[in-house]
Amino acid sequence: MRRQIVNDPDQIVPEALEGLVLSHPQLLELNVEHRYVTRKSRASGKVGLVSGGGSGHEPLHAGFVGTGMLDVAVAGAIFASPTALQVLEATQAADSGRGVVQIVKNYTGDVLNFRIAGEISEDSSVQTEMVLVDDDLATDLGEESAGPGRRGTAATVIVEKICGAAAEEGADLQEVAELGRRVASRARTMSLALQAGTHPGDDEPQFELPADEVEFGVGIHGERGRSRESFRDADGLTALLTDPLLDALEMPRGTEVLAIVNGLGSTYPIELQLAARALHHRLADRGLSPARWLVGPYVTSLDMHGFSITLMPLDDELTRLWDAPVRTPGLTW
C-alpha cells in the first residue's frame, strides 16, 4: 500500500493550485473556473507568455509564473492536457496588446488544444505564436519518422526563462517566438527512472522495475523507456544519460553549456548533487565548460525516483537572457 498526502484524488489539481497561490500571495492569482494562474500584477505593453499542460510535473508550469518568466500557466488533470477552452481563456488572459507566445510541450493533446486556442484567439484580434518544445532525445527516431516526434521535457524551463526575459526587455512577438524555437532546437534531454511514479489514489506505481535494472529514456508521464539498462552507481548513471546527449549535440571543445540536473519527483537532493558532480567532470573531460546550472526538481513525474539531464550550448545572447532577473515560485534570482 502506497500512502500519499491527498484529500480527494479527483480534487488534487484545484487544491494544489489553490495552495500554490495562497502561499505566494504577492506573486500569483488563480482563475478557479478555468484553472489558470496569472501574475498578481499583470504586465502590460509586453508580449504575453502562456504555457501549460497536464499536472503532476510541479513546479512546472504554474511555479514559473512571475516577473521574467510566464504570464499565465494553465493546468489540466494529472498527465492530461487542459481543454481547448481552458487554453483559450488562458491565452487571452496573457495578452496585453502585443500578442502571446504559447510554449507547448510536444504531446498530441496539448498541441491540438493550444493550436485551437490560437486559431480562435484571432477572432478577438489576439495574435499568437506557438513554440513547440521537443527536447527528449529518447524519442528521437530521425527525420524520416512519421510519428509525433520528440517529446517535450525539462528544456521547457529554459524556453520559458529565455522567452520570459526577452519579452520583459520588450522584444516583439516574432522575436520572442524565434528565440524560443532556437532554444528548443538546441537543447536535448535524457531521463532514467529507478522507480515509476504512482498516480494519486493508486496503490501501485505505473510500472514495475527489477531491482537490478533502470528504465532508460523514460517519459515524464510514466511512458516506458527506450530500454532497460543495468543499475549502477551515480557516476555510471550520469554517464549513461550524458554520453548520448554529447553525441547528439556535437558541441565543439570550449563551448559554454547550460546544464539541468532535474529530479523526477522523489529523488533526494543529495543524489542530484552527486549527479551534478559527475556531469561536471564528464563535460570537463570533453573540454566543455558547464557555465550555468539548475540542480533540483523542476519538471517532475509525480513521485518518480529518477533524474534527467538537459544540455544546451550557450551563446552571449542566451547567457545574458538566462542571467536576467526572474521572480517566480520555482525560479528566482
Partner 1 sequence: MTSTDTSSSALPADFGEAWVAQMRTALTAGAAALGDLDRRAGDGDFGTNIRTAMKLVEKNLDEDSPSGYSATLTSFYRAWLGVGGTSGPLFGMLFRDLSKAGEGSGAPTITEFAEALANGLATVQRYGEAEVGDKTMVDALAPAAEALTSAAQSGDDPVAALGAAVDAARGGADATAETIARRGRASYVGDAAKGVMDPGAAAVVLILAAARSAAGGEESVETDWIG
The residues, ordered by sequence, that sit 6+ positions from 285 with a Cβ below 8 Å of its Cβ are none
Burial of 211 (0-12, 13-18, 19+ CB in 10 A): exposed
Q: Tell me which of 14, 67, 84, 286 binds partner 1, using CB under 8 A.
A: 84
Does residue 92 interact with partner 1 by CB under 8 A?
no
The catalytic position among 57, 61, 199, 305 is: 57
User: What is the Cα–Cα distance from 173 to 97, expressed in whole angstroms?
Assistant: 11
* Contact predicate 294/269, CB 8 Å: no
The CB-of-138 to partner 1 minimum distance in angstroms stands at: 21
* 50, 88, 94, 259: residue in contact with partner 1 (rule CB under 8 A): 88
Cα–Cα distance between 118 and 129 in angstroms, integer?
Answer: 8
Nearer to partner 1 (CB atom), residue 86 or residue 242 = 86
CB of 178 to partner 1, least distance (A): 25
Give whichever of 76 and 225 is closer to partner 1, judged by the CB atom: 76
Q: Segment contacting partner 1 (CB under 8 A): 1-9, 104-112, 198-206, 268-276?
A: 104-112
Distance CA 11, CA 174 (A): 38
Of the pair 132, 214, the CB lying nearest partner 1 is at: 132
Sort 210 into a burial class: Cβ within 10 Å, 0-12 / 13-18 / 19+: exposed
Residues 108-127 that bind partner 1 (CB under 8 A): 108-109, 112-113, 115-116, 120
Q: Is 272 in the site for partner 1 (CB under 8 A)?
A: no
Q: Does 76 bind partner 1 (CB under 8 A)?
A: yes
Return the residue of 51, 81, 91, 102 that touches partner 1, per CB under 8 A. Answer: 81
Compute the distance between CA of residue 63 and CA of residue 51 in angstroms, rounded to an integer.
11
Main-chain dihedrals φ then ψ at residue 330, nearest 5 degrees: -95, -15
Total residues in contact with partner 1, by rule CB under 8 A: 16
221 a catalytic residue: yes
H-only helix segments in the chain: 12-22, 84-93, 108-121, 155-169, 173-186, 234-249, 269-285, 316-323
Name the segment binding partner 1 (CB under 8 A); options: 76-84, 94-102, 295-303, 315-323. Answer: 76-84
Minimum Å gap between C-beta 131 and partner 1 is 19
Q: Does 53 bind partner 1 (CB under 8 A)?
A: no
- Residue closer to partner 1, measured from CB, 84 or 274: 84
Q: How far is the CB of 80 from partner 1 (least distance, A)?
A: 6
- DSSP per-residue string spanning 39-86: ESS---SS-EEEEEEEESSTTTTGGGBSBTSBSEEEEEEETSPPPHHH
Q: Which member of 61, 199, 221, 305 is catalytic?
A: 221
Would you count residue 195 as binding partner 1 (CB under 8 A)? no
Cell of 287: 573540454
C-alpha dist (Å) from residue 57 to 215, 221, 243: 18, 9, 25
Note the residues at the interface with partner 1 (CB under 8 A).
Answer: 76-77, 80-81, 83-86, 88, 108-109, 112-113, 115-116, 120
| Positions marked catalytic | 57, 221
